[in-house]
Amino acid sequence: MTHPDNISECNDSISEESLPRGFRFSGTACGLKASGKKDMSLLVADQPVVASGVYTQNQIVAAPVLNCRSKTPSASIRAVVANSGNANACTGQQGDQDASEMCTILSEKLDCLPEQILVMSTGVIGVHLNMSKVQEGIQDAFAMLDDSPESFLMAADAICTTDQSRKVAARSIQCSNGTIRIAGMAKGAGMIAPNMATMLSVIFTDAKLSPEQAQSMLKIACDTSFNRISVDGHTSTNDTVLLLASGACDVELDEPLANDFQQELNQLLRQLAKLIVLDGEGAKHIMAIEVVGAVNDDQAFEIAKTVAASPLVKTAITGGDPNWGRIVSAAGYAHAKMDPTNTALTICGETIYRDGTPVKFNAGELSGKMKSNREVSILLQVGLGEGKANYWSSDLTTAYVEFNSEYTT
């Protein structure tokens, strides 16, 4: 069983041996993006596979999300078609028809039903798709389908929008009678505050899963990964995470092995989630927030999420300012119970606040440490309870403000 801890090792860590069996991939450019970069991705199973999905909880929901929700979980999915450059969100009945047409175009190529095709879109909201370009893109991408690592990476590139780099990861489980492989791709850099119950992710495995298993396992994995990250506190209209299981490795998941698979799935999604935060638009640092000592895990999560969302905390991290007052006060206004006399704060391994009282520390040295580390660790004790939670968030820079103030103009 593999357990890579350094997330930088996960990017582009896709080899022929790490790809799950039973899938083919492609990515191409069809002109939906003015830049000419890849914007059409196909993820195709050789045979019908199990698929599950977890989606945005935003009340304003994109047409592709509605389409996918109606089809998962399932044991008969053949492919995912995904475009970037256009979210197909807030596009009314025409948007629903366009999402369905994307499924129909690919289903005809695969000689299957449109109900066996899932669809994802990401990009600008409120603009109708150019369906002639979409059709041409699907045709071109279909001709390029391959099971190579290069094709996997091309597909990962084609779902990106403002991402500075692709986000991929792979893991495996060695069993007595074979190897189970899990690989995933994701996109996301802005509009990130997933509330799963504009980020996209598709996870592939050759494990044998039932639709019920796949749905349950994916939900658990999302709750400890994509639902614990934030860039700007904005939940997208298009957030979608899919899990496709081909069963091609022919290894049955007994109870111990199912537990191992869940842990590997959790870790893989966590790797992808942290890569999204690291790529936050204009971000310089990732805040790795850990809250301990809360009344329960839910309250610890609420405190961590509140600290992560504070603009004052975010800007302090940007400037390498060990301003403990901003962090502690943010925790204090979260909708969760704290014990001020047993509250402590440690940044980058140095305790600067303990038992409700400031601790002497070298602000200049700690500031230098914060500035020089891409990942700034924040450990916050809020009492003596057993509740704990982790959360990851980007800092807030002027580059983020400048980029998003000019996004559509």
- Residue 242: band (very low, low, confident or very high) from pLDDT cuts 50, 70, 90: very high
Residues 271 and 298 in one domain: no
Mean pLDDT taken over the chain: 91
Which residue has better confidence, 9 or 202?
A: 202
**pLDDT tens digits, 115-129:** 999 999 998 899 999
pLDDT tens for each residue of 284-340: 899 999 999 999 999 999 999 999 999 999 999 999 999 999 999 999 999 999 999
Is residue 278 predicted with pLDDT exceeding 90?
no
For the chain, what percent of residues have pLDDT higher than 70? 91
Q: What is the pLDDT of residue 252?
A: 81
Q: According to the model, what pLDDT value does residue 67 have?
A: 98
Q: Tally the domains of the chain.
A: 2
Pair (185, 127) in one structural domain: yes
In this prediction, residue 8 has a pLDDT band, given cuts at 50, 70 and 90, of very low
Give me the domain span that covers residue 382.
286-405
Give the residue from 342, 287, 341 showing the smallest Cα distance to 312: 287
What are the distances in angstroms from CA 278 to CA 70, 272, 308? 33, 10, 14
What are the distances in angstroms from CA 260 to CA 210, 263, 407? 16, 5, 42
Catalytic entry in 28, 122, 161, 198: 198
Q: pLDDT for 72-96, tens place per residue?
A: 999 999 999 999 999 999 999 999 9
Q: Are residues 337 and 256 in the same domain?
A: no
In this predicted model, what pLDDT tens digit does every residue of 43-57 receive, in sequence order? 999 999 999 999 988
pLDDT at 208: 95
Residue 232 has pLDDT above 50, yes or no: yes
Position 4 confidence tier, pLDDT thresholds 50, 70, 90? very low
Q: Domain of 382: which CATH number?
A: 3.10.20.340
**CATH code, domain with 155:** 3.60.70.12
**45 and 178 inside one domain:** yes
The string of pLDDT tens digits covering residues 140-174 is 999 999 999 999 999 999 999 878 889 999 999 99
What distance in Å separates the CA atoms of residue 190 and residue 280, rounded to the nearest whole number?
Answer: 6
Active site residue 198: yes
Backbone angles phi, psi at 136, to 5 degrees: -65, -40
249 & 296 share domain: no
- Domain boundary residue, one of 220, 249, 278: 278
Beta carbons of 178 and 205 less than 8 angstroms apart = no
pTM score over 0.95:
no
Backbone angles phi, psi at 149, to 5 degrees: -60, -35
Is residue 188 located within the same domain as residue 212? yes
Other Cβ atoms within 10 Å of 254 Cβ, number: 9
- Name beta bridge partners: 237: none
For residue 135, is pLDDT > 80?
A: yes
Residue 53 lies in a domain: yes
Name which of 171, 61, 65 is nearest 118 in CA terms.
65
The whole-number pLDDT of residue 170 equals 97
Query: Final residue of a domain: which of 223, 254, 278?
Result: 278
- Cα distances from 142 to residues 22, 26, 244, 279, in angstroms, run 16, 7, 19, 30
